[in-house]
């Protein structure tokens, strides 16, 4: 689809080699000999052929010079550096060092999900430690203010700094995709987390939180659509550059006529836009079966067991592994929705299944009902659910590996669909080789039932697997629509030109005949290979690579946000504004490092 230039061809600048605009932006000049860029500040050679390396060197070593922001100031600074006149970075004053320490502690408190008042406790701990270890340095804490009001404001300042950096990078995105996750549940309100994955000049991938939308205040799909478009406009991202859309599989997202995806696709239809690829179920894959298979009764029963164990069986040694797993996921306090989502994970169900006999003994000891343990059909359903969720867990773990690109993720999904066909045939034949838990239940029941009694109904579970197969086909059908593009991206040297659209055959033939490029393909990963590919010589292939690289290839960032939510739901359920929630989730999920000196300078400017 993308190999055929139906729409306006994507413009991609030559990304390798030195570019003139780097001089003012990153204070470097082209190296006199060899590849790379020569830093005008430290006179070190940045041995790289791509912008990310040059930018990383500048941000890590010379962020101080960001204070020269005006065009005239920047040009004058470059001229001074060329002549060897190096403006000295003023050392931080004691007040500025204290402010920077306070910012770092505020960020750490946010990462750990601590309340605003925890800063005072941290301050007292440091004071006690210094008084005993370094009594002469206790006074350094006087300038570090960790009061709730100051900590709250510092978290907002860090969020604003990270947000500005994201928006600056978004200007260089050649293509981007969105991930919409509406499974976040804080206190009694639902939130939509909007993540963006963008690709720059040399295929450097950036995944970040774009915005958070309160679904209580944006109940209608139209209001949601308006909020997302506003966030895109604020970030400087046009719909013309949007390539993909991955969502959960709720009706709000994928409703046939009234879902958000339908609205987004209608909005993105214009002669200058690309066909937006949509795939759902990629996020929270363990919930895919939960919505389409009737498992609520089983999960609800297990939820009641967990509540009883956490309240009346917390000291029992046989449950310590389960309790540790529970607390590592969502802390000591948990609401029902997060508990149900946790129980739907294959690893958790497998652990509970292995403890079923101990749980039965515990329930009998406290006088709770054990009716489910006498229901043979329920026990078989439990075993089958454990097996299916475990298979989904294996796929989900493969899809959590980031930076492998969507082509590899698509291969995993196709392999799982083949696996489902195998599971269907096995269940029809009553072959339980790949159903370990169900096999255990059947073996146990055989010892208690008459020979003529029916234990296993294969048709019951065959229907479930068939339904899951159809759901996979429905949720990932758009990826099959770009199958050729994914194959070309993953294997450009083995892709037969006669199977490619006419528009790309010349480029593909020329590429496959280039021995140097073949050697690079064998020795580099895909991202590095395509980053070095000339956009002038291979514009269509480079365009396909840029679009494929912008598709979400894992659920890692969404899992990171959801894990932060479940671990810290007690803190997040306290009275917080949407702005503070946005700041906490951004700090918890970002890979961008705050510009600390810039934050300190802004603080001084606001408090002269």
DSSP string for residues in 496-554: -GGGS-HHHHHHHHHHHT-HHHHHHHHHS-HHHHHHTS-TTT-HHHHHHHHHHHHS---
pLDDT for 216: 84
C-beta contacts of 299-305 below 8 A and 24+ residues apart: 299/340, 299/343, 299/344, 300/340, 301/372, 302/343, 302/349, 302/352, 303/336, 303/339, 303/340, 303/343, 305/352, 305/359, 305/363
pLDDT in tens, 313-336: 888 888 888 877 776 655 555 555
pLDDT for 608: 45
Q: What is the mean pLDDT of residues 72-99?
A: 79
Q: Which of 237, 259, 211, 208 is nearest to 402 (CA)?
A: 208
Residues 6+ apart with CB under 8 A from 477: none
pLDDT in tens, 374-407: 888 889 989 998 898 889 888 888 887 766 688 8
pLDDT for 17: 66
Q: Would you call 186 helix, strand, or coil by DSSP?
A: strand
- In the chain the first and final C-alpha atoms are separated, in Å, by 58
DSSP letter for 577, please.
Answer: -
pLDDT for 70: 65
Instruction: Let me know: does 198 contact 165? Beta carbons within 8 Å.
Output: no
Instruction: Let me know: does 161 contact 598? Beta carbons within 8 Å.
Output: yes
Is the pLDDT at 16 greater than 70? The verdict is no
539-550 and 405-428 helices cross at what angle (nearest 10)? 60
Helix or strand holding residue 81 (H, E): helix 71-82
Share of the chain above pLDDT 90, in %: 26
Least confident of 56-65, 134-143, 415-424: 56-65
pLDDT for 585: 93
Of residues 198 and 269, which shows the higher confidence score?
198
pLDDT for 606: 57
Q: What is the mean pLDDT of residues 187-209?
A: 86
Is the pLDDT at 156 greater than 90? The verdict is yes
Distance CA 145, CA 102 (A): 7
Least confident of 122-126, 289-293, 297-301: 289-293
Lookup: tokens for 99:
């402010």
pLDDT for 13: 40
Q: Which of 504, 513, 499, 487 is nearest to 542 (CA)?
A: 504
pLDDT confidence band for 7 (50 / 70 / 90): very low
pLDDT confidence band for 595 (50 / 70 / 90): confident
pLDDT for 518: 94
pLDDT for 9: 39
pLDDT for 586: 95
Instruction: Let me know: does 416 contact 472? Beta carbons within 8 Å.
Output: yes
Is the pLDDT at 292 greater than 50? The verdict is no
pLDDT for 274: 61
Least confident of 209-213, 256-260, 377-381: 256-260
pLDDT in tens, 516-552: 999 999 988 888 899 888 888 999 999 889 999 999 9
pLDDT for 503: 86
Least confident of 149-153, 222-226, 272-276, 587-591: 272-276
pLDDT in tens, 242-256: 999 999 888 788 877
pLDDT in tens, 24-53: 888 888 887 767 788 888 888 887 657 777
> Could you confirm whether domain 156-281+552-605 is CATH 3.30.420.40?
yes
Q: Would you call 340 helix, strand, or coil by DSSP?
A: helix
pLDDT confidence band for 15 (50 / 70 / 90): very low
CA 112 to chain centre: 18
Is the pLDDT at 79 greater than 70? The verdict is yes
Radius of gyration for the alpha carbons in the chain, expressed in angstroms and rounded: 28
């Amino acid at each position: 689809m993308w190999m055929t230039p139906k729409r306006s061809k994507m413009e991609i600048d030559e990304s390798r080699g030195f570019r003139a605009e780097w001089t003012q932006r990153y204070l470097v000049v082209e190296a006199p000999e060899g590849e790379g860029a020569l830093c005008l500040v430290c006179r070190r050679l940045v041995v790289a052929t791509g912008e990310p390396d040059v930018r990383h060197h500048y941000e890590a070593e010379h962020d101080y010079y960001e204070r020269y922001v005006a065009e005239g100031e920047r040009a004058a600074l470059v001229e001074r550096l060329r002549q060897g006149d190096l403006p000295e970075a003023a050392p931080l004053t004691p007040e500025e060092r204290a402010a920077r320490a306070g910012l770092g502690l505020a960020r750490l408190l946010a990462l750990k999900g601590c309340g605003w008042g925890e800063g005072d406790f941290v301050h007292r701990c440091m004071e006690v430690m210094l008084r005993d270890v370094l009594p002469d340095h206790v006074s350094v804490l006087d300038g570090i203010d960790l009061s709730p009001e100051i900590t709250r404001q510092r978290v907002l300042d860090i969020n604003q700094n990270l947000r500005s950096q994201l928006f600056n990078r978004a200007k260089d995105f050649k293509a981007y995709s969105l991930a919409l996750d509406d499974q976040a549940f804080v206190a009694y309100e639902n939130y939509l987390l909007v993540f963006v994955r963008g690709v720059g000049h040399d295929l450097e991938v950036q995944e970040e939180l774009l915005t958070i939308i309160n679904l209580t205040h944006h109940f209608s799909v139209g209001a949601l659509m308006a909020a997302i478009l506003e966030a895109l406009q604020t970030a400087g991202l046009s719909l013309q550059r949007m390539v993909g859309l991955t969502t959960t599989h709720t009706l709000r997202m994928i409703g046939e006529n009234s879902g958000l995806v339908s609205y987004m696709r209608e909005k993105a239809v214009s002669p200058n836009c690309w066909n937006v690829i949509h795939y759902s179920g990629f996020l929270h894959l363990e919930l895919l079966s939960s919505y389409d298979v009737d498992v609520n009764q089983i999960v609800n029963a297990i939820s009641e067991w967990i509540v009883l164990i956490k309240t009346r069986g917390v000291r029992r040694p046989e449950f310590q592994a389960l309790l540790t797993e529970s607390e590592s996921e969502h802390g000591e306090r948990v609401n029902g929705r997060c508990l149900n989502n946790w129980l739907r994970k294959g690893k958790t169900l497998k652990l509970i299944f292995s403890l079923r006999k101990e749980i039965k003994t515990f329930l009998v000891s406290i006088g709770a009902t054990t009716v489910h343990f006498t229901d043979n059909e329920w026990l078989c359903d439990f075993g089958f659910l454990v097996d299916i969720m475990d298979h989904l867990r294996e796929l989900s773990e493969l899809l959590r590996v980031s930076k492998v690109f969507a082509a590899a993720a698509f291969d995993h999904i196709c392999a799982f669909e083949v696996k489902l066909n195998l599971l269907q045939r096995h269940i029809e034949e009553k072959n339980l080789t790949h159903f370990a838990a169900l096999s255990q239940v059947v073996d146990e029941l055989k010892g208690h039932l008459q020979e003529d009694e029916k234990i296993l109904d294969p048709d019951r579970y065959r229907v479930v697997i068939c339904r899951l197969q159809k759901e996979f086909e429905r949720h990932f059908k758009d990826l099959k629509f770009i199958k050729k593009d994914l194959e070309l991206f993953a294997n450009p040297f083995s892709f037969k030109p006669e199977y490619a659209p006419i528009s790309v055959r010349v480029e593909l033939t020329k590429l496959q005949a280039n021995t140097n490029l073949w050697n690079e393909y064998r020795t580099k990963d895909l991202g590095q290979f395509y980053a070095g590919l000339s956009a002038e010589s291979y514009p269509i292939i480079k365009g396909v690579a840029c679009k494929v690289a912008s598709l979400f290839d894992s659920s890692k960032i969404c899992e990171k946000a959801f894990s932060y939510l479940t671990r810290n739901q007690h803190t997040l359920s306290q009275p917080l504004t949407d702005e503070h929630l946005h700041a906490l989730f951004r700090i918890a999920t970002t890979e961008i490092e705050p510009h600390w000196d810039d934050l300190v300078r802004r603080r001084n400017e606001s408090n002269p």
